[in-house]
Amino acid sequence: MATPEQLEEEAAAKAMKPKPDPFEQDARREIRSYHAESPEEREARQEKNRQEAKDIREASTVFYPGTTSHRVSLRDKLIASSIGKNVRFDLQRGPAVKGKLVDVDLEMGNCTLQGPERSPPSLMFVQFRHIVRLEIYPD
């Protein structure tokens, strides 16, 4: 049976022992798995990663007639696909805006909303960079 002094010494020795760094453990595991795979497997994995990156780049690129390509985020594409639907945008500053999405200009990065049915109907112009959150409502 261990005496209280021995238990305290063991606890102190345990506390003094350096704890393994989880990031270092992950890095070591990654290196071991990298060296464990064959060159063919490694090349196949790298090719798959390159193809995924290429697909993502192509998905976020829109070509305009007579111009160079323009990078468009997937969020902007979602907004552009919602023309004619009722939307609500929470903006960085000011109140949220609600209305029917009338027009989207991806090249300029803005859109036009038609406000509630009033006379005369109001139009609001919103720049994508000011949108913090968006909601799209079914028709």
Cα Rg for the chain, rounded, in angstroms?
Answer: 28
- Short-list 61, 94, 66, 78, CA closest to 134: 78
CA 91 vs. chain centroid, Å, equals 18
pLDDT at 81: 84
Determine if the peptide bond prior to 116 is cis (ω within 30°). Answer: no
Domain locations in the chain? 21-59, 74-137
pLDDT at 30: 80
Cβ contact 65:47 at 8 Å: no
Digit-by-digit pLDDT tens for the chain (139 residues) are: 678 888 888 888 887 877 777 788 888 888 888 778 888 988 898 898 888 877 766 665 555 454 444 556 777 778 888 888 888 888 888 888 888 888 888 777 788 888 876 656 688 888 888 888 888 887 6
Instruction: Count CB neighbours of 87 within 10 A.
Output: 20
pLDDT at 67: 47
Residue holding tokens 């991806």? 106
**The CATH number fitting domain 74-137, selected from 1.10.3720.10, 1.10.540.10, 2.30.30.100, 3.40.50.170:** 2.30.30.100
